[in-house]
Amino acid sequence: MHPCQNRIALRGPSLTFRGDPFQIGDTAALHYEADGLTLVEAGKITGFGDFEQLRSRLDGHQLTTYDNALILPGFIDTHAHYPQVQMMGAYGKQLLDWLNQYTFVTEQQFHDPAHARHVSELFLDQCLRAGTTTASVYCTVHPSSVEAFFEAAKDRDMRMIAGKVLMDRNAPPALCDDARSGYDESEALIRKWHGQGRLSYAITPRFAPSSTPAQLEAAGALWRRYPGTHMQTHISESRDEVDWVRRLFPEHANYLDVYRYYGLTGPRSIFGHAIHLTEPEWRHMADSGSSIAHCPTSNAFLGSGLFNYERALEYPAPVRVGLASDVGAGTSLSMLQTMGAAYKVAQLGHYSLSAPRAFYMATRGAAQALYLDDRIGSIAPGMEADLLVLDLASTPLIDFRMRYCRSIEEALFVQMTLADDRATRAVYIAGKLAYDAKETMAGNNAYALEAQAKKNAG
């Protein structure tokens, strides 16, 4: 193989985090190189720093230079439902009605492997287009929906976490498994997919109301049996849901206690939303090393409430929090848009979320929430080379506005407030160019041509 084929170098303004800005402050945490160089070999980062200082190591690397851009770790979306891309923007309901009226109708279509494969491909391509290189993903109750997703992710060599949804009550019969079949099907999927390439399995009880105690018990037993897997579920998203859990599980002190009791809290567990937590729940989140996926566009869209990030940081050990789209209740796969929404949620809670902190929550902080920060989320030697190149002038308005930015912090804030997937100039997956905006322009045209051809034929 020609040396250049697995050795690449990216030159341009670059950004990563060397620590947690919530702990050590924004300035100490941010590592910005105005003229940065990232060296990559065989899918891993081998060097990162100032171009002049590293240029002697360039030999044998294929160099690409990006101007008016920002190179950063690929974004990480800590909670999304791939089948729900086809029902984003469904009008007029709050959580429980929205689930019954839209979600449970849509998800029934995923018994069809071809449909699941088609939507998986679309979801992953849209993730790439948004600059997201890793996500923690809910499939549907159908094992084939997981097969389809993992196959599509494997084809793209993307680091993805996913799992079969477990639910055995309070959902249409066509979407219900049972405690035994849910366990067996999940176990077969774990054996086949967990640790294959860059894929990891998440045991996925949808949320406490849609699982019987027997199913939650089985999910806990499965996780104990395969402790390297992840566990994902929802918690305390809407007040009606919290009341419902209180009625369904009257013997438990609170919502999180249900999950705790069945062995579903701890490292590598990630809880979507966590808006209406009580003090004991916050404490158990921290003490157990459980993580939260903060889903601001979804919470606004469904009118669920305002996540309290400030509270997550209190207590001697703060809770790990990553940002998430929660598509299809979320209204965008773009983590830039998600950061902008997180800022607005914070403002409504009367505190401010700085741009470095928001970017952290979508990169290294999200990786920490998923317990993957030793592999992804930073630009540093040894890390997997999932990299995003942002165009800092992706629209004429942003181009104009950026001329008035005087610092990297200001520039980041303008990007998270005004930009979206149009800002993705390129994405590298394990050191390979996986998305290039220039080629996609051609791709879009091809799509238009195909549509035109169909129209002509019809």
Cβ-contact 46, 381 below 8 angstroms: yes
Number of residues that bind ligand GUN (CB under 6 A): 11
Give 14 or 210: the residue with its C-beta nearer to ligand GUN: 210
List, in sequence order, every residue forming a beta bridge with 45; answer none if it has no partner. 40
298 binds ligand GUN (CB under 6 A): yes
Q: Are strands 69-73 and 30-41 parallel, antiparallel or unpaired?
A: unpaired
Contact partner at residue 66 from Zn ion, ligand GUN, none, CB < 5 to 8 Å by partner kind:
none
Give the whole-angstrom CA distance, residue 255 versus residue 208: 8
Q: Which of 182, 272, 322, 365 binds Zn ion (CB under 5 A)?
A: 272
Residue nearer to Zn ion on the CB measure, 131 or 272: 272
Phi, psi (deg, nearest 5) at residue 134: -135, 145
Q: What are phi and psi of 108, to 5 degrees?
A: -65, -25
Note whether 317 and 283 are within 8 A (CB): no
Residues of span 335-394 touching ligand GUN by CB under 6 A: none
Considering only residues 215 to 254 of the shown chain, the ones binding ligand GUN according to CB under 6 A are 234, 237
Which of ligand GUN, Zn ion, none sits in contact with 206, Cβ below 5 to 8 A by type?
ligand GUN
77 binds Zn ion (CB under 5 A): no
In the bound state with ligand GUN, the residue whose beta carbon lies nearer, of 29 and 285, is 285
Q: Which tokens in the block code for residue 253? A: 């002190």
**293 and 79 Cβ atoms separated by less than 8 Å:** yes
- d(CA 395, CA 133) in angstroms, rounded, equals 23
207 binds, among ligand GUN, Zn ion, none (CB under 5 to 8 A by kind): ligand GUN
428-444 per-residue burial string, b: 16 or more CB within 10 A, e: under 16? bbbbeebbbbeebeeee
Binds ligand GUN by CB under 6 A, chosen from 29, 87, 99, 324: 99
From candidates 147, 177, 326, 373, binder to Zn ion by CB under 5 A: 326
User: Residue 132 in 3-state DSSP?
Assistant: strand
Identify which range of 42-50, 95-103, 305-313, 406-414 contacts ligand GUN by CB under 6 A.
95-103
Given 61, 129, 198, 206, the residue binding ligand GUN (CB under 6 A) = 206
Least distance CB 306 / ligand GUN (angstroms): 15
For the CA atoms of 185, 189, 191, 196, what is the dihedral angle to 10 degrees? 180
Taking the C-alpha atoms of residue 45 and residue 88, their distance in angstroms, rounded to an integer, is 36
Least separation, in Å, of the C-beta of 27 and ligand GUN?
36
Least distance from ligand GUN to the Cβ atom of residue 316, Å: 30
CB of 264 within 8 A of CB of 233?
A: yes
Closest CA to 120 of 150, 76, 78: 150
Give the one residue of 48, 149, 193, 207 binding ligand GUN; rule: CB under 6 A: 207
Among residues 106 and 134, whose Cβ is nearest to ligand GUN?
A: 106
* Sign of the torsion angle spanned by Cα atoms 277, 278, 281, 287: positive
The encoded tokens of residue 131 equal 């600059």
Asked if residue 162 binds ligand GUN (CB under 6 A), the reply is no
Tell whether the torsion through CA atoms of 427, 432, 436 and 442 is positive or negative.
Answer: negative
Which of residues 256, 292, 324, 329 is near ligand GUN by CB under 6 A?
Answer: 329
- Given Zn ion, ligand GUN, none, residue 377, with its beta carbon under 5 to 8 Å by kind, binds none
Please state, as a whole number, how many other Cβ atoms lie within 10 Å of the Cβ of residue 317: 11
Residue reference for tokens 């994902």: 232
- Scan for tokens 């830039």, then name that residue: 336
Task: Output the smallest distance, CB 361 to Zn ion, in A.
Answer: 17
Task: Using CB under 5 A, list all residues that contact Zn ion.
Answer: 272, 326
Task: Using CB under 6 A, list all residues that contact ligand GUN.
Answer: 81, 95, 99, 103, 206-207, 234, 237, 298, 326, 329
